Amino acid sequence: MGCECSKLASCCWAGQNGPVHEAKNPDDEEKDEVSDLPTFREFTVEQLRIATSGFAVENIVSEHGEKAPNVVYKGKLENQRRVAVKRFNRSAWPDSRQFLEEARSVGSLRNNRLANLLGCCCEGDERLLVAEFMPNETLAKHLFHWETQPMKWAMRLRVALYLGQALEYCTSKGRALYHDLNAYRILFDEEGDPRLSCFGLMKNSRDGKSYSTNLAFTPPEYLRTGRITPESVMYSFGTLLLDLLSGKHIPPSHALDLIKDRNLQMLTDSCLEGQFSSDDGTELVRIASRCLQYEPRERPNPKSLVAALFPLQKETEVPSHVLMGISRNSETMPLSPLGEACLRMDLTAIHEILEKLGYKDDEGAATELSFQMWTNQMQETLNSKKKGDAAFRHKDAKAAVECYTQFIDVGTMVSPTVYARRSLSYLMSDMPQEALNDAVQAQVISPVWHIASYLQAASLFAMGRENEAQIALKEGSVLEEKKNTTS
């Protein structure tokens, strides 16, 4: 091991009832305030339906069990901002006013240590939250289910510090309660930095339980009273420190027994061998032990936790994404011919590629008609599509728009390719906003279709929205790469 287990055991146990010493935190308290995020807003169900491609199964990033059937989707707003959308069970928040008050309160928080809440939706029976999207998975994934490399000691310490800073910030803003703090609530942003999900700052329902995890990890006072307190959050923080130390989800009672028996080899992740000193291990176990005290009043507060964790930090100059071994979106892959054509706004090249592709990506939609009743209206609908295809082939943009519009308006058959072709026809007619609308609709129908993202990029370039266009272009590249890999 990278530390002497017997020495570590005797040190940490002898000192576990001592105070968590306050060390001067050189960081300015306000340094992590976020200024470039939009203010909290209310969305309509339709806006979030479009953002998540109709709440498509392909966009689900997490879902709970039957007791708390709340689902989180990844999505994309009109301005290309990627978001996480939490959709509550319809019976979770019957009082719309209470839901809005809670959401607005959480939405007033803005900090770089949080996956911040951007808005909500309270329409009819629907209750949804909209937060920043974190693209690099959860702590549970990187700690318990890693594929390429285990999380390094320096990164584990950084996770602990950043989480403590997140809780300290929330406490300073009057939101000290966090529901069911666990490794799935810590997410990693584009830079690989850990962030605390804002969703846990609200309950799963107005009267719902604050903890849904195994009772072995639940604060003892919660089992007695059913109520969460700031001290309960500190207990959960202690369980997370054990997760970081062991690389496993060890029940606190078992971990404390190991510490008492000075059997820390069973507690420490073997993947960490040689990465930390006995003093550092001693201190982390001591902090965890303090958080796990049976009596709530004996646990530290977030401010003292941050002060204790700060001096332990290692490799502070190394970016998180390097420690994590993950690539950032800014490190872009080479563009495909279609991506290049959209970047150059070469409408002729885009047209050539779409024409060559045909209706290959419509997933059988074009053949569904053979099983339907042939009526005069159906024949007219098919004729509109055929005329549109002929006009598109000859680059008659105006006629293509007219014919495809007739086909779409009937609504008998939904085709992402028709929307894509009409989108390009609008671009050829110098109507970029209409082109963007159609490209978005193509993605609603086919959530992971790279061509829809590429056409959104082309439309945004045409409108002079450079930054948003670049985001859409990157998304198209990622989706195209995934498609090529799977095929």
- Average pLDDT of the chain to the nearest whole number: 85
Task: State the burial class of residue 141 (Cβ atoms within 10 Å of its Cβ: 0-12, 13-18, 19+).
Answer: middle
Residue 228 reports pLDDT greater than 80: yes
Q: Mean pLDDT lowest for which of 216-225, 238-247, 321-330, 355-364? A: 321-330
Residue 125 reports pLDDT greater than 80: yes
Q: Mean pLDDT lowest for which of 111-125, 246-260, 323-337, 438-452? A: 323-337
Residue 222 reports pLDDT greater than 90: no
Sheet containing strand 114-115, strands side by side: 114-115, 194-197, 186-188
pLDDT in tens, 89-101: 878 888 899 999 9
pLDDT value at residue 194: 97
Residue 18: band (very low, low, confident or very high) from pLDDT cuts 50, 70, 90: very low
Please state which of the four CATH numbers 3.40.50.80, 3.30.1360.10, 3.30.200.20, 3.30.70.100 is assigned to the domain occupying 41-132: 3.30.200.20
Total residues found in the chain within this entry: 487
Tokens for 242, please give them: 């054990």
Percent of the chain with pLDDT over 90: 59
Highest mean pLDDT among 13-27, 168-182, 329-343: 168-182
Q: How does 112-127 read in b/e, with b if 16+ C-beta sit within 10 Å? A: bbbbbbbbbbbeeebb
Mean pLDDT along residues 127-142: 94
Task: Give, in order, the Cα–Cα distances in Å from 209 to each of 122, 180, 200, 219, 223.
Answer: 21, 9, 12, 13, 11
Higher pLDDT, residue 223 or 20: 223
Residue 468 reports pLDDT greater than 70: yes
Q: Is 3.30.420.40 the CATH number for 337-360+375-486?
A: no
Please state which of the four CATH numbers 1.10.510.10, 3.40.47.10, 1.10.10.60, 1.10.1060.10 is assigned to the domain occupying 137-324: 1.10.510.10
pLDDT value at residue 473: 93
Percent of the chain with pLDDT over 70: 85
pLDDT value at residue 37: 87
Mean pLDDT along residues 288-317: 95
pLDDT in tens, 312-326: 999 999 999 999 988
**Distance of alpha carbon 326 from alpha carbon 250, whole angstroms:** 27
Residue 405 reports pLDDT greater than 60: yes
Residue 475's closest CA among 36, 48, 130, 82? 82
6 Cβ contact partners less than 8 Å away, ≥ 6 residues apart:
262
pLDDT value at residue 230: 95
Angle between helices 416-428 and 376-393 (to 10 degrees): 50
Mean pLDDT along residues 276-303: 91
Mean pLDDT along residues 131-136: 94
pLDDT value at residue 209: 67
Q: Mean pLDDT lowest for which of 17-21, 154-158, 166-170, 348-352? A: 17-21
Residues with active-site annotation: 180
Residue 465 reports pLDDT greater than 60: yes
pLDDT value at residue 29: 45
Q: In the chain, where are the structural domains located?
A: 41-132, 137-324, 337-360+375-486
Task: Give, in order, the Cα–Cα distances in Å from 273 to each of 4, 5, 13, 105, 151.
Answer: 11, 11, 21, 44, 12
pLDDT value at residue 13: 41
pLDDT in tens, 21-33: 444 444 444 456 6
Q: Mean pLDDT lowest for which of 66-80, 176-190, 307-321, 434-448? A: 66-80
